[in-house]
Structure 1
Amino acid sequence: MSLTVGDSRTGDWFDLDVTVTVDGEEVPFLALFSALSAGDEFLLLDSGTWFSLDSPELTQLKTLVAEARAMVEEDGPGQFRLRPEHAGLWEELSALGVVAEQSAAWQSAVAALLDVDELPAVDPPERLRAELRPYQQTGFEWLRFLWRSRLGGILADEMGLGKTMQALALIQSAVEADELEAPVLVVAPTSVIGTWAAEAAAFAPDLNVAIITETGARRGAHLGEAIQDAHIVLTSYTLLRLEADDYRDIAWSTVLLDEAQFVKNHSSKAYQAVRKLRARHKIALTGTPLENNLMDLWSLLSITAPGLFPDPRAFTEAYRKPIESGEATALERLHRRIRPLILRRTKSAVATELPEKQEQLVPVELSSQHRRIYDRHLARERQKVLGLVSDLHQNRITILRSLTMLRQLSLSPALVDASYPVVSAKVDALIEMLAETIAEGHRALVFSQFTSFLALVKQRLDAEGIGYQYLDGRTRDRARRISEFRGGTDPVFLISLKAGGFGLTLTEADYVFILDPWWNPAAENQAIDRTHRIGQDKPVNVYRLVAADTIEEKVMALQESKRHLFDAVVGRAANVAAPLTADDIRGLLD
């Protein structure tokens, strides 16, 4: 088999020709592929020559060509149009035959994508007021390569490794090279905008930063006027969604999507707004590019590398369905395809100077009174849910409401019925552990998904005379609360999981208490990484409090059963929980 890749006359595409010869005689590609697809054992050529089709190479060729037909443009039999995003497909095809010819542009584009050691060396920006760690220098060079190649990608470093710093290095480098012809748009959750502004001011003070915190009607100026002379424009996903047309009318040099999992839902308005932005390339920054299922990953790739998997239906058939049914070969194939466009490093691999992190599961026994109430509700909710789970799509909301009730009952009966006693073995256990922690001079982050449960914890902390700060999604003075914890002496910070799962650096604390497990362990890991990140100089201790013999134990088991998907597709040291299936729900109620 002979492969030829040449420059196309159309944009940044490349023309790929696949030619198969037997003893010097060219085999018609269409006839060969048809015979392979039909499962024929032999192929008879027009010259009368026949040859066996029973070879691993031809079987692999059939698989790759079928995939290519679904994913890339086909100009004719054996002729395809590739973009550099398809480097993974090219790597497998070239392993089957002889590369007769490849253009210099293709070779330089593909080599660095397939091996970061092949990245062109780039000096760090002179005006960046920070020394990049070796892995950050590699990340910066990777981003710089994507910039110059006009390719998008996903910087998926584990949380706490400095993705913002690497992005700032990219922007500063582009400014110093006089390559920034238009501003960079950074889209982030509202709570993270302040962090971006502070880091830009500290590490890249030469960059002009425009912070958009209001709609045009409120600020009294059009977006174009508000961002004049800016190198970086900071805005939130909410404001982008509300003023999508205004942002689309501006040509951006690049778009950086921080906490990019916010646009994982490809049917959301925020996703549509990001897709329609005009930029030379788009980069997703997220430690969790895959949270719920493989379509999360497709959504981010469709934004950053739209030519890789253009059709979500083809992606579903080729990858999602086979992988979710446990087909290992499809998983391996997807991993090879996405590897060139995702750069992921873990703390254990590149930040070995970080203190160790110890995690411990703490079983908590319910009191007899609490147990009777829980068991009574469990029997009733189990009967109801098992009667509904056969039609999960129609009854999902009702089922999730029942499961949420059982999770709250595991914490305290008072969370579901004000007439029930305000008892909680978990609060008792937490106070005991905090007392010892504080006495030894440590500080702690305490996370729960239920603000109603955090309210019970606040009552006990007040009664015990333990100082604390508090943060949930409704906290208006968020920055002040964070500043008072970081600069103050309160030993405890109570945080709702959704409000504090990202955008915070709280290395002043070295103890973390997770009061209730969530289906998606990635959310818990994000919370833990508020303190186990660069800048931490103390060992971090994590305690997960789990009510014994309750739905919480089942949730922990469910988490473990779902971890392998993220690890296999994206890399180690992060987690995913797929959407709850009917079998998952039955398992929770066993």
Structure 2
Amino acid sequence: MEDLKRFKNKSGQNTNYQKLVELSRPRELIEKEVLHYYISGLMNEHLVNFKISIECNSLSDQEIERIISYIHHGITFRTYQVSSLLSRGDYLNVKSFRKLETSQSRTAGSFLLVKDNDAYNFLLELITDSPVYLVETGQRARVGEKLKPALFLSGTEDLININIKEDEYQLYRAPYHEVYWTVIDSIVHPINMLEFNSLPDEIRIPGDKKGEFIFEVLPALEKKYDLEIDNYFRKYELHSEEPVITLYFDYIQGNILCNADIEIKGEHISGIEALSRDFDLREYTRSSKGSNLWYLQDNRAVKDLLNLMHDYGFHVRPEEFILRNKEDIIDFITDGFIHLPEEWQLVTTDSFDELEIRTVQLEPIIELKEGDGIDWFEFEVYYNLGGKTFTSSELKKMISQNQHGESYINIDRRYFILQESQQEEGLTKLLDTAEEGYEGDYRSSFYNLLYYKNLIEEAGIRCRGNRVYNSLQEDITAGSLVKEVSIPQRVQDVLRNYQRQGYYWLRFLNKYHLGGILADDMGLGKTIQTLTLLVSLELNKPALVICPRTLIYNWAEEVDKFFPDLKYLVYYGTPEERNEMLDDLQEYELLITSYSIISRDYEKLNDNGLEFAYCILDEAHHIKNHRTKRAQGVKKIKAERKLALTGTPLENSIDELWSIFDFLMPAYLYRYSRFKKEYLNPITKGNDQEKLQEFKKRVAPFILRRNKDEVLTELPEKTINIQYVEMTKLQEDTYQLILDQLKGELLASVQEKGFDRSRINILAALTRLRQVCNHPSLVLNNFEHSAHKEGSGKLAALSEIVQEAVDGGHKIIVFSQFVRMLKIIREDFEKRGVSFEYLDGSTRDRMSRVKSFNQDDRIKAFLISLKAGGIGLNLTAADIVIHVDPWWNPMVERQATDRAHRLGQENRVMVYKLITKGTVEEKMIKLQRRKEDLFNNIVEDNVNPLKQITWEDIQELLDI
């Protein structure tokens, strides 16, 4: 603290108000003026020290002295005392000076620095990075390029001297240190003297090296250094002679033979003899003693010849060199032979001249074999080379015989160097999905036929097709992948155009034994397209439809509606009931069951010898997780052909699509471990776009998807779908209990008061039954609905529809007459993360909820009580309307539906009515259809439609 006080007191004597202000600022905001350094001694070799002076306009003399004292005696000062005065760069410079050998100077603001290697190298850095001035010139110093010394070579051919030419520039050095520099126009140039300091003053030239010194060493030194050579050495003259080399080449029995004739000074020797001769590569001789004329016998070409023979793999025989290895032959012909020196004479035989080495791109030809199999097709791969045809296996065998497996083949005197072409790259992908047979042919699943065709066309591979392939080619070149085929009479006038196209596509897949995914948007009629396919084929085995439990009776209803002659069975019920059905399953054309039943019964079905003509998965995303028991059970069902129906084949990851394809066409996308390596990891972890495009090409031919926007003009403005739902066991028991109770009460009331005076009792009874159809908790006071996820079949069906709609990007309105049911649905939505708005009779901010639903894309659903939302709302953002509990007053339903389907709606609206199977709801729908005119002409105009219902109608509804 005392040091700090002294610093403050002393500083205060010399600071003004501005300095006080600067001290108040954060340190990083104070801009400090840099130091200027003045150096003497760089241009005076007699001084043993460099003298460094420091100046700075913003620092007082006392502060400069404090810095110099810190350099000499830094340990006695606090670091802050100096660092606070300096910029970051100057502070680092001052710390570096402390590490060097310094001494005090008699001049104020200066210090001395011993001339040594460390000091000199640091000064070069200081000049580069900071303002440094030379005292001798008064100019700012710079660092220049490193120079070589200017030299002068004198003497005779016996004895020479090499001296530094000091008249070129002034040379400075640090005493007692091998450090040299010069200063030219205030630019400091380091001098590299290390190579010359070790040379003696005189160098004697050996007698047998004089020619080499005069004609090789001197020119090399002159070229490398700043060297002036005395004119004495310019008087010599040299004549060179080289050997005459003649090479004789022949090609015999797959070997290259080479005879070499070398003529040196009139003497002929063979290449083989040259191996054993010891002669100088460059031999200098003087024409006569004291003469300035020299001769050089340059034999380096002989060494070049012998090295060439060795480098290209020639072996030595008594009379010649021989090259046997095929790879070495290719190397020599394509590289060595064509680069032989022009001055060498070459003599070749006809056999050698006929050697041909060509680089060819492999162009495969695929030939598909004819066969009777329906699951596999076989093919062979051929190549045409040199007028001969080779199979793929033959080509591989020839290549494998090469010493290092190089890609070439030798046919007679022709060598074909094989390069992979675009066709070969495509073939590699193709063979990657095929199995190689023992005889070199291949086989692949029919699943790959369409993928192969695309690969073959993209790669430009020639293909000789079989009947199936040619038929596929004809189908495709006819204009599209599908041809029009006959449509069953019953739906001729029912199918919309896009549904016809979907049916044609399904027939195309059937023709070529392919599986596929019909991925149309919800509500576009995947069911009717599939049923049309099944009826059109007149199958000799039953087809199997597997769907969520909530859709079982919807399939049955569609069959009854469009194909009432189709004999079908709903394979559902208790284990005992299903066991009773097993023996009769073959008698039906269509079986309809659920995923949960199949996961339990697939072994029974297989053990019973059942093989289906078709296995069809509705809402196939239910098997997206291939590890589940459900997915594994479904995939063990035996079927000749398979289809998947889902509006959301891919939700989160491409391995969901793999699971569906693993059901449709096992191994088409490889086994899962390889699929992860080939596609999943590169695409999801590596963002590999090339792999993504390849994956799309693999799956695209087998997925048909149309969304509502694409077929908008073909859709009616409003499509009504009635979806039948089965009750849970609890619902069924509750319903039967209440029904039995109400029958007795109503009979007693009608007998006592008459039918007209009992209408209020009848309405109350029907309401209770409708509540059970929704959820048992609406009538069971002690029932905790949140603890029973499977308490309501209708809630499960609603969840299925909503999830598919949300995944497909739709907006939904859900209507219910019962507020308690809406709250149960609200709780279910909250658990499953479905974003929604809610409106019942107690809701106050109605219009803000409507605005939120219409404008916020994140809000997917609107739960509305029928009474509160029947009129006065505009919800045109929705394109799906669900009536959880429809009733017999179509006017009320229509008013509710029109909240979405009204002026300003650009989408077509899909309306779903959930009807509980085997209840008053189903019977009411049938009654509506039977008395259609009554409802159209009377009920819709009547606030209380019960007045138009007879006691006979009620007896039918309640089985009285």
Cα deviation for residue 333 of structure 1 reads: 1.5
CA RMSD of aligned residues (A): 4.5
Equivalent AA in structure 1 for residue 437 of structure 2 = D
- 1:221 is displaced (CA, Å) by 4.5
Following TM superposition, by how much is the alpha carbon of 1:340 offset from its aligned partner in structure 2, in angstroms? 2.6
Q: In 2, are the aligned partners of 1:7 and 1:106 still within 8 Å (CA)?
A: no
Checking the alignment, whether the CA contact within 8 Å between 1:486 and 1:508 is kept in structure 2 is no
Name the count of aligned residue pairs.
407
Amino acid at match of 1:136: Q
Deviations 1:528-567 (A, max 9, x none): x9x956689xxxxxxxxxxxxxxxxxxxxxxxxxxxxxxx
Q: CA deviation at 1:182?
A: 2.1
CA distance in 1, matches of 2:909, 2:386: 60
Letter in 2 for 1:233: L
Q: 1:134 is matched with which residue?
A: 497
Checking the alignment, whether the CA contact within 8 Å between 1:129 and 1:203 is kept in structure 2 is no
Quick one: which amino acid aligns to residue 465 of structure 2? Q
**Partners in 2 of 1:220 and 1:315 — Cα distance?**
38
- Choose which of 374, 397, 408 in structure 2 pairs with 1:44: 408
Match of 2:599 in 1: 241
Q: Does 1:123 align with 2:482?
A: no
Tell me whether 1:342 sits opposite 2:703 in the alignment: yes
Structure 2 partner of 1:91:
454
Distance in 1, matches of 2:492 and 2:714, equals: 22
Q: 1:196 and 1:508 mapped to 2: Cα distance?
A: 28
Counterpart amino acid of 1:489? Answer: V
What does 1:460-479 align with in structure 2 at a 5 Å threshold? 465-466=868-869
Q: Work out whether residues 180 and 253 of structure 1, in 8 Å CA contact, stay in contact via their aligned partners in 2.
A: yes
Asked if the contact 1:85/1:341 (under 8 Å) is kept, the reply is: no
Relative to structure 1, is the Cα distance of residues 104 and 203 closer, same or farther in structure 2, using a 3 angstrom cutoff?
A: same
Structure with bigger strand share is 2
Change (3 A) 1:425 1:100: closer
- Per the alignment, residue 13 of structure 1 pairs with 376
Residue equivalent to 2:422: 57
Provide the rounded CA distance (Å) in 1 between the counterparts of 2:495 and 2:621. Answer: 26
- Residue 3 of structure 1 pairs with residue 366 of structure 2: yes
SS in 2 for 1:347: coil
Q: Which residue of 2 aligns with 1:168?
A: 531
Tell me the amino acid that sits aligned with residue 510 of structure 1. Answer: A
Identify, as 1 or 2, the structure richer in helix: 1
User: Residue 284 of structure 1: SS of its match in structure 2?
Assistant: strand
Once residues 422 and 578 of structure 2 are traced to their aligned partners in structure 1, the CA distance between those partners, rounded to angstroms, is: 65
Q: 1:234 aligns to what SS in structure 2?
A: strand
Is 1:154 aligned to residue 517 of structure 2? yes
Given that 1:32 and 1:43 are in contact with CA atoms closer than 8 Å, whether structure 2 keeps it comes out as no
Instruction: Write the deviation string for residues 556-590 of structure 1: whole angstroms up to 9, x where unpaired.
Output: xxxxxxxxxxxxxxxxxxxxxxxxxxxxxxxxxxx
Of 837, 847, 858, which aligns to 1:432?
847
> Which of 512, 526, 546 does residue 187 from structure 1 map onto?
546
User: Does the residue aligned with 2:407 lie in a helix, a strand or coil?
Assistant: strand
How far residue 22 of structure 1 moved from its aligned partner, in angstroms, is 3.6
- Answer yes or no: is 1:318 the counterpart of 2:678: yes
Q: Which has the higher contact order (CA 8 A, sep 6+)?
A: 1
**What's the offset of the Cα at 1:283?**
0.6
Contact 1:258 1:286 in 2 (8 A): yes
Q: What amino acid does structure 2 have at the position aligned with 1:155?
A: L
3-state SS, counterpart of residue 223 of structure 1: helix
1:241 Cα deviation after fit = 1.2
> Aligned partners of 2:665 and 2:626: how far apart in 1?
14
Instruction: Verify the 8 A CA contact 1:140 1:167 in the aligned structure 2.
Output: yes
**Paired position in structure 1 for 2:659:** 299
Distance in 2 between residues matched to 1:321 and 1:114, nearest whole Å: 36
Q: Establish whether residue 203 from structure 1 lines up as the match of residue 203 from structure 2.
A: no
Give TM-score scaled by structure 1 length: 0.59
Q: State the Cα deviation string for residues 32-70 of structure 1 (Å, max 9, x = none).
A: 78999xxx9983212264456556515xx23641x3444
Structure 2 letter corresponding to 1:335 = K
CA distance in structure 2 between the aligned counterparts of 1:112 and 1:534, rounded to whole angstroms: 35
Aligned equivalents of 1:228, 1:84: Cα separation in 2 = 27
Indicate if the aligned counterparts of 1:156 and 1:343 stay in contact, CA closer than 8 A.
Answer: yes
Give the one of 496, 500, 508 matched to 1:145.
Answer: 508
Residue 189 (structure 1) shift: 0.8
Gaps of 5+ in 2: 1-363, 719-825, 828-835, 854-858, 872-881, 913-960
* SS of aligned partner of 2:489: coil
Equivalence map 1:405-424=2 (5 Å): none
Task: Please tell me the residue identity of whatever aligns with 2:525.
Answer: G
- Looking at structure 2, the residues matched to 305 and 75 of structure 1 have their Cα atoms a distance apart, in angstroms, of 21
Partner AA of 2:407 in structure 1? L
Partner secondary structure for residue 131 of structure 1: coil
For 1:584, the equivalent position in structure 2 comes to none
2:650·2:656 contact (CA, 8 Å) conserved in 1?
yes
TM-score scaled by structure 2? 0.37
Instruction: Measure the CA separation in 1 of the matches of 2:472 and 2:888.
Output: 47
Aligned with residue 481 of structure 1, among 884, 890, 893: 884
Residue 112 (structure 1) shift? 4.3
Residue 74 of structure 1 aligns to which amino acid in structure 2? E
What is the Cα deviation at residue 236 of structure 1? 0.9
**Cα distance in 1 between the residues matched to 2:837 and 2:659:** 42
Are residues 232 and 50 of structure 1, via their aligned partners in 2, closer, same or farther at CA, if it must alter by over 3 Å?
same
SS at match of 2:709: helix
Kept in 1, the 8 Å contact 2:426–2:455? The answer is: no
> Is 1:330 matched up with 2:686?
no
Secondary structure of the residue that 2:564 maps to in structure 1? coil
| Aligned amino acid, residue 140 of structure 1 | Y
Alpha carbons of 1:467 and 1:355: their partners in 2 closer, same or farther (altered >3 Å)? Answer: closer
The 1:280–1:129 alpha-carbon spacing in structure 2 relative to 1, beyond 3 Å, is same
Q: Say which SS state the counterpart of residue 154 (structure 1) adopts.
A: strand
The residue that corresponds to 1:281 in the other structure is 641
The alignment partner of 2:561 has SS state of: helix
Gaps of 5+ in 1: 358-413, 416-423, 439-445, 449-453, 469-478, 494-506, 513-528, 537-590
Corresponding residue SS for 2:541? coil
Structure 2 residue aligned with 1:309: 669
Instruction: Tell me, yes or no, if the aligned pair for 2:510 and 2:641 is still in contact at 8 Å.
Output: yes
Q: Distance in 2 between matches of 1:107 and 1:307?
A: 25
Q: Residues 536-547 of structure 1 correspond to what in structure 2 (within 5 A)?
A: none
C-alpha separation between the residues in 2 aligned to 1:196 and 1:20? Answer: 54
Q: SS in structure 1 opposite 2:380? A: strand
Partner Cα distance (1:54, 1:220) in 2: 63
8 Å Cα contact 2:430-2:455 kept in structure 1: no
Q: Tell me the SS of whatever aligns to 1:150.
A: coil
Of 295-304 and 341-350, more deviation after overlay is shown by 341-350
Query: Are the equivalent residues in 2 in contact too, given 1:124–1:173 (CA < 8 A)?
Result: yes
Structure 2 equivalent of residue 71 of structure 1: 433
> Which letter maps to 1:85?
Y
Which position in structure 2 is the counterpart of 1:101?
A: 464
- Where do residues 490-569 of structure 1 align in structure 2 (5 Å cutoff)? 510=900, 532=908
| Pair 1:136–1:33, CA change in 2 (3 A) | farther
CA distance in structure 2 between the aligned counterparts of 1:33 and 1:492, rounded to whole angstroms: 75
Identity of aligned residues (%): 27
SS in 2 for 1:82: strand
Conserved? CA contact 1:85–1:340, under 8 Å: no
What is the identity, as a one-letter code, of the residue corresponding to 1:79? D
**What amino acid does structure 1 have at the position aligned with 2:536?**
S
AA aligned to 1:247 is L
- AA aligned to 1:82 is S
CA–CA separation in structure 2 for the residues paired with 1:509 and 1:200: 32
Give me the whole-angstrom Cα distance separating, in 2, the residues matched to 1:224 and 1:115.
Answer: 45
Whether the 8 Å contact between 1:84 and 1:106 is mirrored in structure 2 is no
C-alpha contact (below 8 Å) 2:374/2:513 kept by paired residues = no
Residue by residue over 1:11-33, the C-alpha shift from the partner in whole angstroms, topping out at 9 and shown as x without a partner, is 53111222233443446746978
- Aligned in 2, Cα 1:78/1:294: closer, same or farther, shift over 3 Å? farther
SS at 1:265 equivalent: coil
